[in-house]
Chains A and B, each alone.
Chain A
Amino acid sequence: MALLEEDHAFEIADAVLAASDADETEVTINCVEDRFVRFGHEGPTQSADRERYDLAVRVRFRDGEGYREARASAASLDEASVLGALGRAEILARVASPDEAAVPLGGPVEVEGSAPSRPTQDHSFKEKAEWIEAALVRCEAESLHGGGLARTTVTSRSIVNSAGRRVHGATSRAEFSLTCADGGADAETIGGSASATSVRCFVDQVDVDAVIEDAVTSAVRARGADDLDAAPMDVLLEPQAVAALLTFTCGLGFGARSFHEGSSFLTGRAGERVFSEQVSIADDPAHADLRGLRFDGEGSPRRNHPLVSSGTAHGPVTDAAWARRLDLPNTGHAQAQPSTAGPSASHLVMAEGRFSREELLERLGDGLLVRQLHYVNVVEPRDLVLTGMTRGGVFRVNGGEVGGAVGNLRFTQSLVQALGAVDGVGDRATRVGSLMGGELVAPAILIRGFQFTSKARS
């Protein structure tokens, strides 16, 4: 199977539109080709060579009270499955309650097209095995247990609706990640451990050697961690740690629904200074490290959209319905519709600052260098009070010099307050992900008085 070409996808979608009895119909076709090998210290543990389709039909019947709307989907593209999905959507929509707030489907738009990367699509298991063997050999040389993921994925999405909208795009993604730790139970709490990852748009951009070197040397350095009591401390957060925090701003902070409900830090503060003036954040699907689709879940165009400029907040991101409801422009941040979730920023880019890593460490003076944060979650959304753990190496910094490792710590910290206490932003941003999902581009940042509240071993 290959990803569907634009013409083929539009042909399938057009057949659904032709068969639909609804007043408005939208067809979304997603295709995925995915190959991965997951490995532990004894070698590969899982792998998959797989593909899937997802065709979703959204239908709407209009009457004097508004739109009656529903969606159904199928994982097969044969006529019976596709028409089955259409039929289910129509049945659901006919009995749905009318939605007065719904707006008509959007018409034709121009969006920048994109094609999958052939080398990424063709990257083989044999080539992934070479990455993994190099990592395992290096880990074994340092008596570390290595584990991680080698993965290449290409996707395409096509949206066609009865109002004349026809958009199509493709993305590519390649990843190599390595986590290494001393073996045995509790290895990360009592021994050395670290992880590193390279997530890029194209497979030839993945720097496997750098990932291995970073993870292994950091894990070795993290051995023999001292016990450190939790207390507020100045910290230099590496990009992976920054990503674990910023990902919570996407829907809860910048989304129109939470903004409207009053559960966002943006509520009542658009146009005001909310963070340090060193903090600028945009949503930019065209960023060279992301290369996301240039349209949202309704097929509306998405472009570089500023969210915070030099610490000052702009308004929330919207979709068609929320834009009308709040009398704001449609910023192109719809999820697949209909949805209760509300719009969300999904291509966050935190702007690079002016400090090199050495300058950031010097500026930090005495504090902690944190490589990664784990299992971060929201305690209170209004001020984005978050809690989570450090992971993968926490090091003392004394007089700007990186010193020995300390044990993992839990933090309970308002992200709004933390981003207000940023005292330095690194000059190199990179694409990183987090356990709770999503990927974004972030630099290292220096935060004063980060609130650590307990330690892993008590």
Chain B
Amino acid sequence: MVNPTASKCAPHSMEALAKSAVDQAMARGADAADARIVRCAEERLVIQNDALRESDAPEDFGIALRVFKDGAAGFAAAPGPYSAMKDSVGGLVRRCLASARDLAPLRRVPMRLAGRADGCGEYRTPVKEDPFTVSLEEKLGLLMNASERLGGRREVVSSLAGMSLRREEQWMVTSEGGSTHQVLVRSGGRIEAVARARGVVERRSYPNALEGDFRSGGFEVVRALDLEGNAERVRDEAIALCHADVCPPGERTLILGGGQLALQIHESVGHPTELDRVLGEERDLAGGSFAGTSDPGSLEYGAECVSFVADSTVAGGLDTRGWDDDGVESGRFDIVRDGQLCGFQSGRISAGRAGAAASRSVSRAEGWYAPPIDRITNVSLAPGHGSLEDLLAETEDGAIFADTIKTWSIDQERRNFQFTCEVAWEIRGGRRARLLRLPTYQGSTLDFWKRCDRVAGPEEWRLWGVVNCGKGNPMQVAEMSHGAAPARFRGVRFVDIASRLP
């Protein structure tokens, strides 16, 4: 095990330091202020081709101060350790106030913070098994066992088994009396096989592509993934994909697995309902939204069987915590209910701009180094009924069941998307039949969700973790989860990929 550097200061010292920064800012004329001290420890282990190729234990520690003055915000941040942060507080206060004063004359409309940030207390991720106390030998053994089962076939040109474990501790103090302490732990991992045959190279991943799958929680999350038990299947599917036909173009029924649906939800529901995007404040890089501020209550977002819930309290969510980085208590609210758009995800600043009474607690920053912005929280598709096997059995021959993201692209207003999955099967006789590669479907967000005619039930529903959501300018990375059960969509357009290959 690699124990994170022990804090040399009692927690109340951190709280006192944050409070000191806020008090000094207020004493020097700030209208409002908040300070966050964030300490993050991570352990990343990746075995590639049966050898440990990535073995990293980064730590991050620093203080951020944000002030509001004359309708503008100033933000300054400095690294630890405690003594350095303590020495830097006076400078941070001066720099925050100076930048806010310089920028205030540019504000056409003064910033207004919606609601209050006066919560006090502590939140800790429920952890059954502290990931930093499990021995390194056990962790490496778990990965090596999975890695060995990914190999053994000459077609496999690369295999990978990895895990990442993270603990983030944060102290936050606000000028409105808020004082919170949070300890957030998340764990997860993945396996991946890359195979080559017949001049084709294909990848198969488990439990999800990209970084894998993660949940808030301890090492029990990694154990539950059963990487070893899925390795041979992943290897064999990677090889089989090299021999599979490319998914044919045309209009067909599509059933998406939960992992792919998580990405679909993320891109076509999560981002377009972030209020800062709706207000046009993300347009300079990632883009805006097709949705407008007057759309809640009137915009038909999807079919009646489609409902999306935002929930920063759900067990296991990567954005499950006590408070956001504005200091606002976590909560649960509807984004789309029975197909109708109900509301947006907002922080205090965007909610203030929109004239709302309070934020939805989605304001988050990447560590101590960045100012908070509106971020997707845990947004999930509500389950319907029945099992995946029921869904397949009730679907006509020629339909496609596809899962696991391979590539994704969506326009700057979150309307036109095109996604390619790692794997697909043609449905015949109510079952998965012919294996297909490069299934690529294209659609328009509202039209696509209106084509949904069935969502599988709670027995198929689970959270999928996203750990690489980039947003902001300069870009920040955030984590969140999306719950989904497989769902069926009628008349989906599949793109002709075969003709574009050599």
Contact = CB atoms under 8 A, between A and B. Distances in A.
Contacts of A96: 52, 55, 140
Contacts of B52: 68-70, 96-97, 99
A88 interface: yes
A50 B77 contact: yes
A85 B56 CA distance: 10
A47 B46 contact: no
Contact of A410 (B80, B194, B411): B411
Interface stretch (A33-41, A286-294, A397-405, A439-447): A33-41
B108 interface: yes
Size band of the interface chain B makes with A: 35 or more
Interface string B41-77: 0000111101111111111111000000000111111
Contacts of B288: 181, 185-188
B12 interface: no
B118 interface: no
B456 to A, nearest CB: 28
A74 B293 CA distance: 43
Interface in A28-68: 34, 36-53, 56, 68
Max chain A Cβ within 10 angstroms of own Cβ: one of B75, B84, B409: B409
B160 A412 contact: no
A80 B4 CA distance: 12
A48 B75 CA distance: 5
Contact of B280 (A53, A85, A183, A391): A183
Nearest to A89: B57
Interface string A76-103: 1010110011001101110111111100
A185 B108 contact: no
Contacts of B152: none
Size band of the interface chain A makes with B: 35 or more
B160 A91 contact: no
B5 interface: yes
B426 to A, nearest CB: 20
A156 B288 CA distance: 35
A52 B59 CA distance: 13
Interface string B69-92: 000111111111101100000000
A389 B55 contact: no
B440 interface: yes
Contact of B292 (A73, A101, A185, A262): A185
A92 B280 contact: no
B309 interface: no
Interface in A370-429: 374-383, 385, 387-389, 391, 408, 410, 412-414, 416-417
Given A48-B75, A80-B8, A410-B442, A261 B194 contact: yes
A84 B5 contact: yes
B27 interface: no
Contact of B59 (A84, A260, A387): A84
A145 interface: yes
B80 to A, nearest CB: 5
Contacts of B259: none
B420 interface: yes
B286 to A, nearest CB: 7
Given A45-B281, A383-B501, A412-B418, A125 B102 contact: yes
B429 interface: no
Contacts of A73: 56-59
B73 A195 contact: no
Contact of A375 (B61, B276, B279, B409): B409
B416 interface: yes
Interface stretch (B180-188, B226-234, B368-376, B479-487): B368-376
Interface stretch (B17-25, B93-101, B163-171, B389-397): B93-101
A91 B472 CA distance: 36
B473 interface: yes
Contacts, number: 331
Given A76-B61, A132-B106, A177-B284, A46 B79 contact: no
Nearest to A73: B58
A151 B8 CA distance: 35
Contacts of A339: 53-54
Max chain B Cβ within 10 angstroms of own Cβ: one of A46, A80, A183, A458: A46
B83 to A, nearest CB: 7
B2 A91 contact: yes
B265 interface: no
A413 B137 CA distance: 46
B103 interface: yes
A239 interface: no
B53 A38 contact: no
A49 B2 contact: no
A380 B53 contact: no
A47 B99 contact: yes
A150 B77 CA distance: 18
Contacts of A117: none
Contact of A52 (B79, B279, B416): B79
B289 interface: yes
Nearest to A140: B108
A75 interface: yes
Max chain B Cβ within 10 angstroms of own Cβ: one of A88, A376, A453: A88
A457 B284 contact: no
B84 A76 contact: yes
Contacts of B83: 78
B140 A95 contact: yes
Max chain B Cβ within 10 angstroms of own Cβ: one of A181, A263, A380, A457: A380
Nearest to A51: B78
A454 interface: yes
A136 B45 CA distance: 48
Contacts of A451: 500
A456 interface: yes
A340 B411 contact: no
A122 to B, nearest CB: 14
A129 B281 contact: no
A451 B369 CA distance: 41
A31 B335 CA distance: 42
Nearest to B39: A75
Contact of A136 (B106, B196, B201, B349): B106
Interface in B417-464: 418, 420, 438, 440, 442, 444, 447
Given A195-B284, A379-B407, 11 more contacts: A41-B108, A46-B75, A97-B51, A149-B284, A179-B284, A185-B292, A185-B293, A187-B288, A188-B287, A188-B413, A417-B500
Interface of A: 1, 34, 36-53, 56, 68-76, 78, 80-81, 84-85, 88-89, 91-93, 95-101, 124-126, 129, 132-133, 136, 145, 147-149, 151, 177-179, 181, 183-189, 193, 195, 260-263, 338-340, 374-383, 385, 387-389, 391, 408, 410, 412-414, 416-417, 435, 437, 451, 453-458
21 contacts: A39-B106, A40-B279, A42-B107, A45-B281, A48-B371, A49-B77, A51-B79, A52-B62, A73-B56, A92-B56, A97-B144, A99-B51, A129-B106, A133-B105, A185-B293, A187-B288, A187-B413, A375-B410, A377-B407, A379-B420, A408-B416
Q: Which 3 pairs between the two chains have the least Cβ-Cβ distance?
A: A185-B292, A43-B107, A70-B55
